[in-house]
Amino acid sequence: MVYKIKATFAEGVTLDQLHAAIQQMGVGPDNPAPGNINHEESVKNNQVVFIEEWESQGAFETFFTQTAHPVISKNGIASPEIKQL
């Protein structure tokens, strides 16, 4: 079963900041994170929102805790609010 999440970043965090962090993670459209099926992004009410589909909850949690969270923290970006959809 696909695990789908919505990640909402704090106001003031920009797509440029997030794209720089994503590049540091070594992932992107041509090289998705292990287990990532789909990644969409938008800006709503001055907040960046990611909608992602993962092969499993475990795949998402492994990537977030081992890769994404350390990189965004290093770049001074607060962890997003994450909700399962």
- Between CA 6 and CA 81 the distance in angstroms is 8
pTM: 0.91
Mean pLDDT in the chain?
95
- 39-52 confidence digits (pLDDT tens): 999 998 899 999 99
Q: Where are the domains of the chain?
A: 3-84
Architecture of domain 3-84: 2-Layer Sandwich (3.30)
**Contacts of range 29-36, beta carbons closer than 8 Å, 24 or more positions apart:** 33/63, 33/67, 34/59, 34/62, 34/63, 35/59, 35/60, 35/62, 35/63, 36/60, 36/63
Residue owning tokens 């607060």: 78
